[in-house]
Chains A and B, each alone.
Chain A
Amino acid sequence: MKTTAIDPTWAWLPYRASEEQPWNRGRAAHLLRRAGFGATSQEIDAAVEKGPEEIVADLVSPRLDAAFELESDAFAKTILASGDPKNLSAWWSYVMLRTPHPLLEKTTLFWHGHFATSAAKVEDAETMYNQNRLFRQFALGDFGKLTHAISRDPAMLTYLDSITNRKAHPNENYARELMELFCLGEGNYSENDIQELARCFTGWEIRRGKFRFNQFQHDPGMKSVLGHSGPLPEGKSIDVVLDQPAAPQFIVSKLIRYFMFDEPAASDELVEPLANELREHEWDISHVVRRMLTSQLFYSEHVIGRKVRSPVDLVVGLLRTLEGSTNAYQLGDDLNQLGQGLFYPPNVKGWDGGRAWINSSTLLGRANVIGRIIRDENTRFASGNLNEYFNRLDANSAPAIVDKLLELTLAVQPPQTVKEQLVEVINRNGDRSERIAEAIHALSTIPEFQVM
């Protein structure tokens, strides 16, 4: 690991291709992995032509694709008709696999992990689905508005017990997590702030599936939250929280971890310039995400290969890279087995990510899931099998197939001996597609495959 401190001034300068950091297929693939879920060989070619500025500009302002919206809504309807929130993961896996707006979807997933709400407690598919739409609506938009909206979102109100928060003796759950996990971070408020903020949220209820303010259960008295005194009605208290200097710092530092690197934690000095910009741009998330994805830092060794792949990055990433399609219900189950059950985050802190994705069970699981998916009879690669797919990419010999596979799937190349063993696997007797499947299965177990 590079332990040298990152210079913040250098870090956030716009990336310019240079001899040391050329704009090439490797960096284009890196961008498309991080800003989405991996890219096909043709998409990488196209990206090399365009350059990072133009690609990122397109990604942060997705144009509505009516045909895909229809397709997605129709599938959602079928799922909601079943009433079981467990099936929602099939719908979202499908959307991630097929979306024309990968960054929008990836950022929606970020907010799901940030404002983590689990269907295990909410127990209603439609409520969870509506929350997911809210995340997508604001994913690359105004974080302040999103925070106000989520505070009135029925799934969140249920998950953090706001619906039973009454003036007689307030329930502190939502007030605590709003400051600790959603806006400020632990240590940036006092226990007294929590108790006062909880009073502000008394009477925030659900009626007939929608938010309702119940003035009879609301405590209208004076409160003192984070140094601001007053009755703090409606969303006023949320503004008090959002106005804290710690808020943009907290959000930018989580976005850096999500889009750039897992460890070490970004220094305050590195976070500060973008935190200031986020404030100046009135909580516009697309601004800071664009700044990250077009920065010097993003295309440097501090970032490339420095994130552990989440189960979504791993599985959806491999399928999108090889134009794979498969059974979405099974895919949703697979993600759950690997520790990323969509709509079922482990707790209100969401997924920790980084090394926390990795243990012996999830590593064996990763190999088993990849091995199963690539051999599944429902899985197709651009409507064909793996041998046909690599033929289309002009990779016919075993070494050519391995080179292509490693180039497309890995941010960090493995030692030569690993390549040689994979070539050996493909050269064994038997069906060529099955041999390639076995090579991918074996590849999925190496350390380099778990990072991006």
Chain B
Amino acid sequence: MRSNRREFLKTTLGTSAVVSLGATVPGFLRAAAVASTDDKETILVVVQLSGGNDGLNTVVPFSDPAYRGSRPKLAIPASDVLKINDALGFHPSARGFADLLEDNSLAIVQGVGYDNPNRSHFESMDIWHTCQRKSDTRTTGWLGRYLDASQANRSGVSLAFHLGHEKQPFALTAEDVRVPSISSLEGFRLNDSGDKEVRSTISKLASSARQESDSILDFLQSTTTVALSASQRVEEASRDYKTPIDYPESDLATKLKTVAQLIDAGLGTRVYYVTLDGFDTHSQQPAAHAVLLSQLGGAVSSFIKDIKHQGHGDRVAVLAFSEFGRRVEENASEGTDHGAAAPMFLAGNKVRAGVIGDHPSLTDLEDGDLKFHTDFRQVYATVLESWLGWPSKSVLDGSYDPVDAFEA
């Protein structure tokens, strides 16, 4: 099924005609033109690090004496870091990230945050998801707005998938588009006890017209309809996935492997969203943080390898973020409290590998926290314009200067 579908698309849509535009039109239009064929479209995979990742112990400023001074117990010794340059190094457990960097497939965007930072997990995450403050009426997420705007002529395709057991991230909430959540491929189907009539009855019930318009019932009906069709497509697309890549054993790795599988099936999906939770390291941080960074690096690097092996390396990029970094000074529980600015990460063949921007000062702080110099919406703008080929202004409700994170 999977290869058939891809073959079908190649032969009937004539990808070569579209690709030949490439050399003469601007990147922005080129991406839009490419958007008519499944096999060439760029794909964004968002990895959300929930709980507030300690950026300072992820990308370690090991040569800065202020680092050691603020972190008498938690500082990573200079001899242990995986060196990025003379001043910075990865946490020793972030081996996967170091490998990606060596392979020219990882960009580190330093000092990302926003003005007047909020240190509540839930409020700050909502700000990252919606690009709006609490005083605004927040009904949609930034990716949801992108999906609503770009959905034209794409009926029957799930433009985005969320993989995970947790509730769907607000970032994906749209006015019209319903993003399917998949907690596991096996569970993502309607059990009909082998009785085909059950399925047809249920489809008929779901599509029966309702007389009165009611926002909750409308939402339920459209979500049900999307669930039924998406589950069938995923079921058909997801049989027999084989990869020579050895993914590590972790939830995140399993989820990213599923993403690789769905990408390989050629579903026409542009955005995948996964989360890794546990970064709220108020106490006993060293062991917990090491495990998390090892899972993150291991899963993302295996995923990128797998994608390259499939031949989709040039059209997949991973974006990793957290709702805030952590306080520069450690607390007495061998942990860190909620902070502000932190690095974001982009991974993939096409990212401009290396460190983007300076490490924020460890002495010029704001309420004990690192000051941001790059607004997170600048990174979103980069991803929207340079990667997904979509104008960012209306999605982000403002103009933000992109950062130089992708190769031309």
**Residues in B whose Cβ lies below 8 Å from that of A161:** 282-283, 333, 335
Interface string of B171-186 (1 = CB under 8 A from A): 0000000111111000
**Residues in A whose Cβ lies below 8 Å from that of B210:** 414-415, 447
CA distance A424 to B183 in the complex (A): 33
- Count, chain B residues at interface, CB 8 A: 66
On whether the beta carbons of B208 and A417 are closer than 8 Å, the reply is yes
On whether the beta carbons of A164 and B332 are closer than 8 Å, the reply is yes
CA distance A412 to B329 in the complex (A): 55
On whether the beta carbons of A364 and B227 are closer than 8 Å, the reply is yes
Closest to A444 in B: B202
**Residues in A whose Cβ lies below 8 Å from that of B179:** 359
Q: Which of B134, B193, B223, B277 contacts A360 (CB 8 A)?
A: B223
Closest to A450 in B: B220
**Residues in A whose Cβ lies below 8 Å from that of B219:** 355, 358
On whether the beta carbons of B284 and A164 are closer than 8 Å, the reply is yes
On whether the beta carbons of A415 and B331 are closer than 8 Å, the reply is no
CA distance A269 to B197 in the complex (A): 51
For residue B1, CB closer than 8 A to chain A, the reply is no
Most buried by B among A170, A356, A446: A446
Given known A-B contacts A361-B182, A363-B223, A415 and B120 have beta carbons under 8 A apart: no
B165 CB, nearest partner CB in chain A, Å = 7
For residue B377, CB closer than 8 A to chain A, the reply is no
Q: Which of B182, B195, B228, B338 contacts A176 (CB 8 A)?
A: B338
Q: Which of B168, B211, B367 contacts A415 (CB 8 A)?
A: B211
Q: Which of A318-361 contact B (CB under 8 A)?
A: 337, 339, 346-349, 352, 355-361
Q: Which of B164-221 contact A (CB under 8 A)?
A: 165-168, 178-183, 187-191, 193, 195, 197-198, 201-202, 204-206, 208-211, 214-217, 219-221
Q: What are 23 A-B contacts with C-beta separation under 8 Å?
A: A161-B283, A164-B335, A167-B332, A171-B283, A173-B283, A187-B134, A262-B216, A308-B216, A339-B167, A349-B122, A355-B216, A360-B227, A360-B231, A363-B223, A364-B189, A364-B231, A414-B208, A415-B210, A415-B211, A438-B198, A445-B224, A446-B224, A447-B224
On whether the beta carbons of B167 and A346 are closer than 8 Å, the reply is yes
Given known A-B contacts A1-B215, A364-B227, A415-B208, A171 and B190 have beta carbons under 8 A apart: no
For residue A165, CB closer than 8 A to chain B, the reply is yes
Most buried by B among A186, A360, A445: A360
Given known A-B contacts A364-B188, A364-B189, A425-B201, A359 and B180 have beta carbons under 8 A apart: yes
For residue B162, CB closer than 8 A to chain A, the reply is yes
For residue B337, CB closer than 8 A to chain A, the reply is yes
For residue A226, CB closer than 8 A to chain B, the reply is no
Q: Which of A168, A173, A348, A445 contacts B337 (CB 8 A)?
A: A173
**Residues in B whose Cβ lies below 8 Å from that of A349:** 121-122
Q: Which of A11-19, A367-375, A385-393, A400-408 touches B? A: A367-375
A216 CB, nearest partner CB in chain B, Å = 13
CA distance A348 to B134 in the complex (A): 20
For residue A35, CB closer than 8 A to chain B, the reply is no
For residue B330, CB closer than 8 A to chain A, the reply is yes
For residue A40, CB closer than 8 A to chain B, the reply is no
For residue A451, CB closer than 8 A to chain B, the reply is yes
A-B contact count (CB 8 A): 176
Most buried by A among B182, B191, B284: B191
On whether the beta carbons of B282 and A172 are closer than 8 Å, the reply is yes
Interface string of B100-119 (1 = CB under 8 A from A): 00000000000000000011
For residue B9, CB closer than 8 A to chain A, the reply is no
A114 CB, nearest partner CB in chain B, Å = 14
For residue A306, CB closer than 8 A to chain B, the reply is yes
On whether the beta carbons of A171 and B332 are closer than 8 Å, the reply is yes
CA distance A123 to B162 in the complex (A): 29
B317 CB, nearest partner CB in chain A, Å = 25
On whether the beta carbons of A446 and B205 are closer than 8 Å, the reply is yes
**Residues in B whose Cβ lies below 8 Å from that of A337:** 183, 187
Chain B, interface SS category: loop
For residue A101, CB closer than 8 A to chain B, the reply is no
For residue B123, CB closer than 8 A to chain A, the reply is yes
Given known A-B contacts A186-B120, A355-B216, A171 and B282 have beta carbons under 8 A apart: yes
B368 CB, nearest partner CB in chain A, Å = 9
9 further A-B contacts with Cβ under 8 Å, apart from A186-B123, A368-B187, A375-B193, are A180-B120, A359-B162, A360-B230, A364-B227, A364-B228, A414-B210, A421-B204, A424-B201, A446-B224
Given known A-B contacts A1-B216, A171-B283, A358-B220, A368 and B190 have beta carbons under 8 A apart: yes
CA distance A168 to B330 in the complex (A): 11
For residue B226, CB closer than 8 A to chain A, the reply is yes
B77 CB, nearest partner CB in chain A, Å = 21
- Count, chain A residues at interface, CB 8 A: 65
Given known A-B contacts A421-B201, A442-B201, A446-B205, A170 and B190 have beta carbons under 8 A apart: no
On whether the beta carbons of B191 and A368 are closer than 8 Å, the reply is yes
On whether the beta carbons of A172 and B190 are closer than 8 Å, the reply is no
On whether the beta carbons of B165 and A339 are closer than 8 Å, the reply is yes
CA distance A424 to B210 in the complex (A): 19
Given known A-B contacts A180-B120, A346-B166, A364-B187, A448 and B217 have beta carbons under 8 A apart: yes
On whether the beta carbons of A361 and B180 are closer than 8 Å, the reply is yes
Most buried by B among A348, A425, A438, A451: A438
Q: Which of B197, B223, B331 contacts A172 (CB 8 A)?
A: B331
CA distance A361 to B164 in the complex (A): 9
CA distance A186 to B119 in the complex (A): 10
User: A interface vs B, CB < 8 Å?
Assistant: 1, 160-161, 164-173, 176, 180-181, 186-187, 191, 262-263, 306, 308, 337, 339, 346-349, 352, 355-365, 367-368, 371-372, 375, 412, 414-415, 417-418, 421, 424-425, 428, 438, 441-443, 445-448, 450-451
**Residues in A whose Cβ lies below 8 Å from that of B187:** 337, 361, 364-365, 368
On whether the beta carbons of B188 and A166 are closer than 8 Å, the reply is no
Q: Which of B217, B223, B282, B331 contacts A451 (CB 8 A)?
A: B217
Given known A-B contacts A164-B283, A186-B120, A171 and B333 have beta carbons under 8 A apart: yes
Q: Which of B103-154 contact A (CB under 8 A)?
A: 118-123, 134
CA distance A170 to B337 in the complex (A): 9
On whether the beta carbons of A358 and B223 are closer than 8 Å, the reply is yes
**Residues in B whose Cβ lies below 8 Å from that of A443:** 205
Given known A-B contacts A349-B122, A361-B183, A451-B216, A186 and B134 have beta carbons under 8 A apart: yes
Q: Which of B134, B277, B332 contacts A169 (CB 8 A)?
A: B332
Closest to B227 in A: A360
Given known A-B contacts A191-B367, A428-B197, A450-B220, A442 and B208 have beta carbons under 8 A apart: no
Per CB-CB distance, the 7 closest pairs between chain A and chain B, nearest first, are A360-B227, A164-B333, A447-B220, A359-B181, A360-B180, A169-B332, A166-B332
Closest to A420 in B: B208
On whether the beta carbons of A451 and B181 are closer than 8 Å, the reply is no
Closest to A166 in B: B332
**Residues in B whose Cβ lies below 8 Å from that of A428:** 197
Given known A-B contacts A186-B122, A358-B223, A445-B224, A168 and B332 have beta carbons under 8 A apart: yes
On whether the beta carbons of A360 and B181 are closer than 8 Å, the reply is yes
**Residues in A whose Cβ lies below 8 Å from that of B284:** 164
**Residues in A whose Cβ lies below 8 Å from that of B165:** 339
CA distance A425 to B122 in the complex (A): 45
Q: Which of B206-255 contact A (CB under 8 A)?
A: 206, 208-211, 214-217, 219-221, 223-224, 226-228, 230-231
Closest to B214 in A: A1
B251 CB, nearest partner CB in chain A, Å = 13
B2 CB, nearest partner CB in chain A, Å = 21
A179 CB, nearest partner CB in chain B, Å = 10
